[in-house]
């Protein structure tokens, strides 16, 4: 599972919206993954690990009566501005990235995760369906509705040339 640790952590961050929480979830998920290693189908270890991360998170949530305050994601990380751009463009780019992040964080969790699994990890509908444990048709409708929402939010907030 080490080769897929980045992917698992990224997914957990978007799921939990907290990097501290995500670390705990991924660590616990890896312990679980080892316990269930015999059930691993070698053709898709990555999707299998996503499924365990997801189960781990939801069982943690249900264990707690009320959720503690979460430390928000650290926006400074992984948002290195592109040095090839001039300062004004850099600012615009940072602004755009912040808008996109906010738009994603505002999505309901079940919409956000299908977007993350599809757009960042390139999972197929079938793989997403297996991770999220819903029929493929539900994956398609969630993706479509999530995109509609993002479209609505970002179109309002973004200069039109970015969307053209």
Partner 1 sequence: MSCEHIERDLDSYLDRELDAATAMDVRGHLSECAACRRWVAEREALGRLVRTAPYYAAPDRLRARVLAQTTRSRSARRSLAWAAAAMLVVSVGAGGINLWRSAITRSDTIAADVVDSHVRSLMANHLFDVQSTDQHTVKPWFLGKLDFSPPVVDLASLGFPLVGGRLDYISGRPVAALVYQRQRHTINVFVSPAMNDVFPQTNVRSLRGFFIRRWVHDGMAFWAVSDLNEAELIQLCEALEAP
Q: Is the sign of the CA dihedral 134, 33, 21, 102 positive or negative?
A: negative
53 neighbors 11 (Cβ within 8 angstroms): yes
* Binding of residue 140 to partner 1 (CB under 8 A): yes
Q: Which is nearer to partner 1, 63 or 77 (CB)?
A: 77
Helices 136-157 and 87-106: crossing angle, nearest 10°? 140
* Binding of residue 132 to partner 1 (CB under 8 A): no
Q: What is residue 119's DSSP assignment?
A: I
Distances (CA, A) of 57 to 21, 22, 24, 25, 115: 9, 9, 9, 6, 18
The 75-104 site mask, x for binding partner 1 (CB under 8 A), equals: x-xxx-------------x--xx--xx--x
Q: Which is nearer to partner 1, 34 or 67 (CB)?
A: 34
Q: Which is nearer to partner 1, 10 or 55 (CB)?
A: 10
Closest CA to 25 of 54, 68, 67: 54
* Binding of residue 157 to partner 1 (CB under 8 A): no
CA atoms in the 13 A half-sphere facing the CB of 91 = 2
Binding segment toward partner 1, per CB under 8 A, in 23-31, 52-60, 63-71, 84-92: 23-31
Q: Min. distance of Cβ 58 from partner 1 in angstroms?
A: 19
* Binding of residue 38 to partner 1 (CB under 8 A): yes
105 neighbors 112 (Cβ within 8 angstroms): yes
Interacting residues toward partner 1 by CB under 8 A: 1-10, 13-14, 19, 22-23, 26-27, 30-31, 34, 37-38, 42-49, 73, 75, 77-79, 93, 96-97, 100-101, 104, 115, 118-125, 140, 143-144, 147, 150-151, 154, 158, 162-164
């Amino acid at each position: 599972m080490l080769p897929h640790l980045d992917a698992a952590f990224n997914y957990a961050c978007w799921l939990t919206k907290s990097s501290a929480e995500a670390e705990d979830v991924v660590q616990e998920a890896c312990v679980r993954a080892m316990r269930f290693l015999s059930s691993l189908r070698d053709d898709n270890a990555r999707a299998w690990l996503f499924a365990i991360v997801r189960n781990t998170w939801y069982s943690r949530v249900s264990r707690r009566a009320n959720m503690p305050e979460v430390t928000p994601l650290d926006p400074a990380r992984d948002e290195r501005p592109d040095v090839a751009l001039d300062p004004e463009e850099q600012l615009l780019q940072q602004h755009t990235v912040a808008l996109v992040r906010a738009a994603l964080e505002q999505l309901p969790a079940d919409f956000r995760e299908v977007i993350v699994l599809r757009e960042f990890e390139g999972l197929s509908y079938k793989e997403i369906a297996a991770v999220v444990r819903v029929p493929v048709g539900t994956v398609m409708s969630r993706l479509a509705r999530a995109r509609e929402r993002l479209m609505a939010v970002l179109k309002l907030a973004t200069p039109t040339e970015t969307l053209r």
